[in-house]
Structure 1
Amino acid sequence: MTTVCFVGAGSAVFTRQLLRDLLSFADLGPLTLVMHDHDPRRLELAQGLARIAIERHGSEATVRADGDRRSALTGADFVINAVNIGGHAATVTDFDVPARYGLRQTIADTLGVGGVFRGLRTFPFLDALATDIRAVCPDAWLLNYTNPMAMNIQYLATAHPQVNVLGLCHSVFWTVHDLCELVQVPLEQVQFHSAGVNHQAWLLRWERDGQSLYPLLDERIAADAELRRRVRVDLYRRLGFYPTETSEHSSEYVPWYLHDDTEIERLRIPVGDYMQISADNAAEIESLIPQVAAGQYVEPDEDAVEYAPQVIHSMVTGTARTIQATVANTGLIGNLAAGAGVEVPCVVDQDGARPVAVGDLPPQCAALNRQFLSVVGLTVQAAVQGRPDHVRQAMMVDPNTCATLSVDAIWRLADDMVAAHGDRLPPALREPLAL
């Protein structure tokens, strides 16, 4: 019997995808699915979605809901984390307060002011979650989907190195999928190799039958002026390797675009994009609650692509796979900092997960990743050491923030963000910091 605990199961739009993918495997054997969420309405929704998925797939599985985290985790083999601390209201704060200073963001969940404060309000939860895992399911694998991914994995590796953890994100898969469609090459005929940092990794190799597909992409870009009006196409043309996250994400990890009206227009950057996405997700969850309660919900018929179900299947059945995952950098990428949260290939089978050493990244790619990881490292150390000055310093070295604001404005913005998030933050970081 394999036990999978869903933490933050009330993130129902994502939970239903994971359930669909997991229950699509016919050879997993008996499963116990444990749903956990602090919101009783959402917890009931998650349990209902699981029951519907089990019935649809005819799976040998049972489901139970548990509002007590430690009880839910007891005996788990796998823990899937998809929490969003503060929910939509905190996301609105992450956009609205910086916007008053003239700072533009698009997604604000990974880097920048939004990423820093999302990390700071998530770390106390991760600390408690990891403490519970060590107490009641010490051998479990924590499969983390919660952003900011690099910050969260680096924090866990620093504060709880005993916990088995993989950071999972589908961005590399969908990048390769979409590029293959663009150059009209079947995905199943392609081999690829990617590494870097989650949301800023690089497609280092992309081939069919040993031949690079980059020349086909170059031809496609040269023939389409509208395609050239995308941030990551612009980054690819200047850096030589395609970035593995969307243009919306990529625009806020570099200092070149968001502060410039001309670049926003040229590259069609949707400023504030995630606020509507977040609102739509919250509204969809609310609409699902009565549907599921009334028995009117029908699980969508979609392809299985999420990594967590694949990890579980590989570890349970011994089916070897290579996936992309975020782990601590233990010599995996030579020209990025030791201990940093890096995204590399991982071989997964019955023996667990084994990250693959990549060596050095191309120097221009590593240079951008190092600036990214400077923000990550300062944010993690701010929480671990209780250093409010590191919060301000993380914002000072953040590419988009420092390209837009003066240092005085950055410090004032930090104080306003601290005040706005209040007790969501670690206690040592809740006070203003005078020079």
Structure 2
Amino acid sequence: MGVKIVIIGGGSSYTPEIIEGFIDRYEEMPVDKVVLVDIPDGLEKLNVITNLSERMIRRSKKSISIEQTMDLEEALQGADFVTTQIRVGGLEARAADERIPLQEGLVGQETNGAGGVFKAFRTIPVLINIADSVSEICPNAWLINFTNPAGIVTEAIIKHSKHKKVIGVCNIPFNMRNGVAEMFNVPVQKVQIEFIGLNHFIFGRKVMVNGEDRTQETIEKMIIHDQNYSPANIVSLGWKPELLRSLGMLPNPYHQYYFQTSDVIKKDLNDLNNQGTRAETVQRVEADLFKRYRDLKLNEKPKELEQRGGAFYSDAACNLIVSIYTNKQDIQTVNTVNHGALSGLDDDAVIEVNAMIDKDGPHPIQIGDIPIQIKGLIQRMKNMEELTIKAACSGNYEDAYLALLMNPLVADETLAKKILDQMIEAHHPYLPQFQKRKV
């Protein structure tokens, strides 16, 4: 029996990558129907993506049908898997997430700092509603979320929606494994990394290459050869030897916002003044991508897609879906409920962790205590995530203020209020749960 997959946010520039993933894995998982769902504002892009997807499938000679719709309830009928890749407010909202904090001298980034908090505020209510629809219409379907901030959003859905079969995915662990594989000139399948932490705040505690512990050698390669595994949306500033050796673990690319804050702000302010926000750069990249996508001769995922910072999210999602469908029982890094895997965090907290994936979903691999050098950082970040979820659901001004104040990249009472007021105003159409008022 064929598999039906629903892609919510089907007009995304990333969709050709996930279509390619289903084509490449067709022998393992015979997808017979993919339904692309979007909103009226995304109709033009949805049409382009649907047409390209049809050309890709024709080229592959696989028996996969593609449909597009704006009727979510209709799309969900009989779905086996539902993926979510939405951006509430579009790239214009992302630009505000980046610009407003930067203009106040803080990190301006779409999933970290004030920008990440407000992306969560806009996104969480929408995805809770989507998850409730999944629960009612296709309750046995797995919801695979790669909408950012993926960890916070995944926890919000699990805790506040009716649907519990939810897993979050991210491309950063994938990038890190690939980066290490390149360092040692081995296939990525030969590399395993023990990850500890949260989405966009993970550390690689142990690196295994061909079954051997090569953690210290990896760290030295990063120091001596200045090798890194940053995605396209994060320009690596390199890491000081003292940081890498004292941590004894691999940082992830997003850690630069926390460990190199002043240098990041200086670089991003310079970029802001000379070429605009990262969102504005992405708009230019997307315009070029969709120009390519409209070419009727194009029938495969173009190489240019890798210029998007989230490239390979879809590959991670496809791997996860296939492993559930085939009961593969392999190890993947996902965002899922802790269930005691990581001591020092609540059992119902969502963490980013290696898990065994089978037909019943993810089973987190036990880690134990959080290493002392990162324990306080991870606990603080998780507390901030929980405050963000609370505020997104309550729409309470004081809750939102507290979430910003406790964010390590804000942490200033005056700036927290100033940015809160500016960003509530800037995102007003996408924050119906908030009623702005002065305090």
TM-score (norm 2): 0.87
Paired residues of 2:226 and 2:238 also in contact (CA < 8 A):
no
CA distance in 2, matches of 1:371, 1:29: 43
- Counterparts of 1:411 and 1:209 in 2: how far apart (Å)? 51
Partner of 1:157: 158
Alignment match, 2:133: 132
The answer to which of 316-325 and 125-134 deviates more is 316-325
Partner of 2:38: 37
2:77 alignment counterpart:
74
Aligned residues: 417
Go from structure 1 to structure 2 and tell me whether the alpha carbon gap of 1:138 and 1:264 turns closer, same or farther (over 3 Å shift).
Answer: same
What's the offset of the Cα at 1:357? 2.8
> 2:24 corresponds to which residue?
24
SS at match of 1:63: strand
Q: Pick from 413, 427, 430: which aligns with 1:421?
A: 427
- Report what 1:90 is aligned to: 93
Alignment partners' CA distance in 1, 2:200 and 2:406 = 18
Alignment partner, residue 255 of structure 2: 250
Contact 2:221–2:227 (Cα < 8 Å) also in 1: no
Deviation at 1:92, TM superposition (A): 1.0
Q: Which residue of structure 2 aligns with residue 332 of structure 1?
A: 341
Aligned to 2:179: 178
Counterparts of residues 378-393 of structure 1 (less than 5 Å): 378-393=387-402
Return 21-30 or 276-285, whichever deviates more: 276-285
> What SS is found at the alignment partner of 1:306?
helix
Letter of the 1:145 counterpart: F
Matches within 5 A, 1:8-407: 8-12=9-13, 14-27=14-27, 28-38=29-39, 39-105=42-108, 108-160=109-161, 162-224=163-225, 230-231=238-239, 235-243=243-251, 245-246=252-253, 249-252=254-257, 254=258, 256-259=259-262, 274-288=278-292, 290-291=294-295, 295-300=296-301, 306-402=315-411, 406-407=412-413
> Which digits, 9 at most, give the CA deviation of each residue in 1:217-249, with x for residues without a partner?
343345347989514876433322102x32xx2
| Paired residues of 1:379 and 1:391 also in contact (CA < 8 A) | yes
| Deviation (angstroms), 1:72 | 1.2
Which residue does the alignment assign to 1:432? Answer: 437
Aligned counterparts of 2:154 and 2:52: Cα–Cα separation in 1: 29
**What CA distance in whole angstroms lies between the structure 1 residues aligned with 2:356 and 2:162?**
20
Q: State the AA in 1 paired with 2:82.
A: V
SS state at 1:399 partner: coil
SS across alignment from 1:147? coil
Quick check: 2:151–2:199 contact (8 Å CA) kept in 1?
A: yes
Cα distance in 2 for partners of 1:145, 1:233 equals: 33
**What SS does structure 2 have at the residue aligned with 1:400?**
coil
- The C-alpha deviation readout for 1:15-55, integer Å capped at 9, x for no partner, is 11111011112322351110111121122122112212211
- CA distance 1:205–1:33, change in 2 (3 Å): same
Backbone CA RMSD of aligned residues: 2.8
Q: Which runs of 5+ in 1 are unaligned?
A: none
**Local SS of the residue matching 2:410:** helix
Q: Distance in 1 between matches of 2:119 and 2:66?
A: 31
Letter in 2 for 1:139: N
String of CA shifts for 1:331-363, please: whole Å, max 9, x gaps. 221112333221111222333332323222212
Aligned residues of 2:49 and 2:293 also touching (Cα < 8 A): no
CA gap 1:231/1:122 in 2 versus in 1, 3 angstroms:
farther
Per-residue deviation, residues 376-398 of structure 1 (Å, max 9, x unmatched): 11110112233221211111121
Are the aligned partners of 2:76 and 2:138 in contact in 1 as well (CA < 8 Å)? Answer: yes
Residue 140 of structure 2: SS of its match in structure 1?
A: coil
Structure 1 window deviating more from structure 2 (78-87 vs 154-163): it is 154-163
The 3-state SS of whatever aligns with 2:366 is: coil
For 1:328 and 1:269, the matched residues in 2 are separated by 40
Question: Cα gap change, 1:274/1:357 in structure 2, threshold over 3 Å: closer, same or farther?
Answer: farther
Q: Distance in 2 between matches of 1:432 and 1:367?
A: 34
CA contact (8 A) 1:138 1:163 kept: no
Residues 270-305 of structure 1, C-alpha deviation per residue, up to 9 Å, x if partnerless?
7776334432343135424532xxx22231377987
Give unpaired runs (5+ residues) of structure 2: 229-235, 307-311
Contact kept in structure 2, 1:42 and 1:289, CA below 8 Å: no
Stretch moving more, 45-54 or 143-152: 45-54
- Which deviates further from its counterpart, 205-214 or 43-52? 205-214
Contact map agreement 1:197 1:343 (CA 8 A) in 2: yes
Asked if the contact 1:167–1:327 (Cα under 8 Å) also holds between the matched residues in 2, the reply is: yes
Between the aligned partners of 2:81 and 2:54, the Cα distance in structure 1 is: 19
Tell me if structure 2 keeps the 8 A contact 1:320–1:349: yes
Deviation, 1:118, is: 0.2
**Amino acid across the alignment from 1:251:** Q
Partner Cα separation in structure 2 for residue 318 and residue 258 of structure 1: 43
**Shift in Å at residue 65 of structure 1?**
0.8
Q: Deviations over 1:312-340 (max 9, x none)?
A: 22232333321111012222211123332
